[in-house]
Structure 1
Amino acid sequence: MPYRALPVLAAFIFSLPAAAAPVFDNPLVPQRADPHVTLQADGHYYLAATVPEYDRIEVRRARDLNGLGKAEAKVLWRAPANGPMSRNIWAPEMHRIDGKWYVYFTAGSSEAPLDIRLYVLENASADPLEGTWKERGQLKTGWEIFALDATTFAHGGKRYLLWTQRPPTADKHMTGVYIAEMDTPLSIRGPATLLTVPEYDWEKVKFDVNEAPAVLVKNGRVFVTYSASATDANYALGMLTADAGGNLLDARSWTKSSQPVFRSSKRTGQYGPGHNSFTTTPDGKTDILVYHARSYEQIPGDSLNDPNRHTRAQAIKWRADGTPDFGEPVADK
């Protein structure tokens, strides 16, 4: 190619329109909070989320995210009428680990509904909607205090658990986010590292809350989003960042954003966006934020009793410095 043609070619390439961001039929699934979506090797998206009745774990699957709302909700497990794991079944996440399926979830007992802990289900079937889901008991974190919102990810040849728990000496209304290495899908190795507790005013509205961690590894960094404040319109996402080659178990490896990275928008009519997960388009080229939000600001009574946290999704943009730009919650279609 003649040298003089190169500028013309470059100008042509940069003038090509960028690939259109995917458009989602928001809300994807009504009345499903704490959504966890994964794109699995079988080409399906799997959604696990909190149901308004707080009494069961169900999963939906579809070939595209917009199909999740029409997909059959398969009940994997129902809470017993009484005893442990019988109340407040929250934030289920389904993960494929070493040839088996695991569901991590939060539950309380009939005697103490809000004294919640982490629990695990296991299924050896190749198809998670088939086979038998076995109760594998409590996932112990090292101390017996209010714990919820477990997630897991593999990085650098290790598997980690991230979760929310009240620090042993903390006020009863405060929670932080912890990390530990896992030695099996059912247990952690060594002590937990506290990564974040509420520090800023926006993290302390009504309750001092950091919870619901989610992991995105890209551009040589590990990003962990978390949700802060009460579960009403004040709910918002914060973010921690670490170098992908650093020691993730060292709290000094992480930096914390001083401002929310995703919050309510009066302009688009979306309130309390949070408790998210990350996935991609089927080709892996576009990263996607999946989260819940309400379409109204005022909630009478306790926001946990309001069922209208809907599952939503939108594409993530990336800044020139390699950090994610979540923008603002998009309006419902």
Structure 2
Amino acid sequence: MSTPLTLTTHSSIADIAPDIWDGLGDGNPFTTHRFLHALEMSGSVGAGTGWQPLHLTIERNGLILGAAPLYAKSHSQGEYIFDHAWAQAYMRAGGDYYPKLQSAVPFTPATGARLLSPDPEIRRALLTGMTQLAQRGGASGVHVTFCTEEESGLGEEVGFLSRVTQQFHWLNQGYGSYDDFLTALSSRKRKALRKERRRAQEFGGSIRRLQGDALRREHWDAFWGFYQDTGSRKWGQPYLTRDFFERVHQTMRDDVLLVLAERDGVPIAGALNFVGGGAIYGRYWGCTEDHAFLHFELCYHQAIDYAIEYGLDRVEAGAQGEHKLARGYLPAPVHSLHWVGDPGFLRALAQYLQEERHAIDDEIEVLTDWGPFRKNNG
């Protein structure tokens, strides 16, 4: 008989050795120990934020075999897989939807493994452990967001409901240059993007890509200003603190790509990307001056240039935004898992998700057909 598995919760990622945590991961920059640690140490998550760390590890004979980022949530902000309507329905029925448990990367709508282990048995045990933790702690349920398709299947095996939504990704089909990519587009779309890039680069300055030791604190100071402006307009107040970016500079500057537009040596706009696991992930954008098409150039075209140059598989450009379609980013399914302890509500969710899945499948098909790529019939 094998030794039983032991599940442990951790109120800080600092309780787990970085080499052990990262040794279980898949190279995704957002589930690295250094990224999650930067969130916690900067006060971007933790007390007063509604994101209370409860990271899981699972071990046998003192050896950690799996882990998962996990948070107790008192709201549904900063998740990007929206369940606000579920929360309202749950509370109208007389239940307390919060707290809930969320296995996710805070404020980060990027796909990747959430169940960090090469062993399917351990991944299933992590999911089962989350439901047991929710029941013992009085949480309404468990939500695993932006997980992999494989994890979605494992979740269904242990009683979770799978959900499919969509966002826009650019896929590298072995292009040797941006012009190679353009040849895959219809003639009209190809001309439109060439014109758009020319217009964007006529803003009166230069565009720089900064990574690693080329990044200086003055670059982060400029980007912090951009981020504050965008955050205040989108969310009321920014999710991340200034100290978070300082910690990223200290521990992750090789994992980021900052694209800056400068005029007379002064940054006027910027886009922050994270790089790892075969992908580049667009995360934040901001500006102090408005120029035609500069947003598209910094956020989408420059990311494609970088992916082609470094042989990356894809660009994930974040949540929402059908304007990405015309720039070669096609709709891609995004997976999540959901479990609630109330059997009646779980049945209602299952019906809702089944109907939603049909609508999402239709939407992906229609949007793909509207995309800029040449059709097989020429």
TM more than 0.5 = no
- TM-score for the superposition, normalised by structure 2: 0.25
Larger Rg: 2
Higher RCO (C-alpha 8 Å, min separation 6):
2
Which structure: greater strand fraction?
A: 1
